[in-house]
Structure 1
Amino acid sequence: MPKGIPNPPSMRGIWRMEDRWEVSIIRQGQRHRRVFLFSTHSGVRASLKVAKQWRDEVEAKKPLTPRYVQASKPRVDSPSGIAGVTCIRWAPDGAPSVWRAQTRVDGRNLNRSFSIGRYGERAQDLAIEAREKQLEQMKQWLLSRNA
């Protein structure tokens, strides 16, 4: 598909090139990629059919990681080392002054901030607890959608 135009669901992870179909999907942190040449598979339609079968087999063997599991993994650039918990304000001396827990659920941002001025050294711990509650909300929302 042209850049900026998403593939229809039946074509997820599949792109047409000049002489082939390319399949690329990520499951459990690993990229799975394969090329299906038109010449090898007796034409455009036949190679697309084989490409879709391969994609579906990979997806069946390696299901998507649940969103709440992904959201609980800290990013490489996470300064706190806790996913979704970050310092959003610093004191003049460079010390953290406000910690925030943030999670996106159903298109809404859930966030809660804790000031060190108000909560003292417990501010980061409170943000971590708030993040755990937000992840639980996310899990419940996802389970209710799939029920």
Structure 2
Amino acid sequence: MPAVSPLPRIYVLDTNVVSELIKKRPHPSVVRWIAETDTSLAIPFGCVIEIQRGITMLEARNVARSLELQSWLDRLLVSDMAFLPMDAETSKLYARMTLVPSLKDLWTKSPQAKDARMHQDLAIAASAIVHRAVVATMNT
């Protein structure tokens, strides 16, 4: 009988999962999964970069909402939720990963993109690899 692999000790949350929690009508299955998971959850630095960038961009269009979101993010970062910083090991792995041609679309903007945002997917993946975690994402 093959060995059953244990559940991950930690889930690294992708930006789309964290962002779902602040929506006026978050997807019920995401809220339920967050509430019911027995596994530790962590927010990687790349997720914070993407969320902070979105909040900053929103300031010009909707100051009240940007202040609300900034307050939410600030509270989240001082909560008991684990935060995975950009440490030396993650930095080195991330740098190596940016040199893999097939991973380019995970960290750099597409030439066809309207905005010039740099993607943090590769940074989030590097955090997960270093911490031997699984990325929880809504991407398909």
Quickly name the TM-score band, shorter chain normalised: under 0.3
In terms of fraction of residues, the more strand-rich structure is 1
State the structure with bigger RCO (CA 8 A, min sep 6), 1 or 2: 2
Larger Rg: 1
Provide the TM-score with structure 2 as the length reference.
0.26
In terms of fraction of residues, the more helix-rich structure is 2
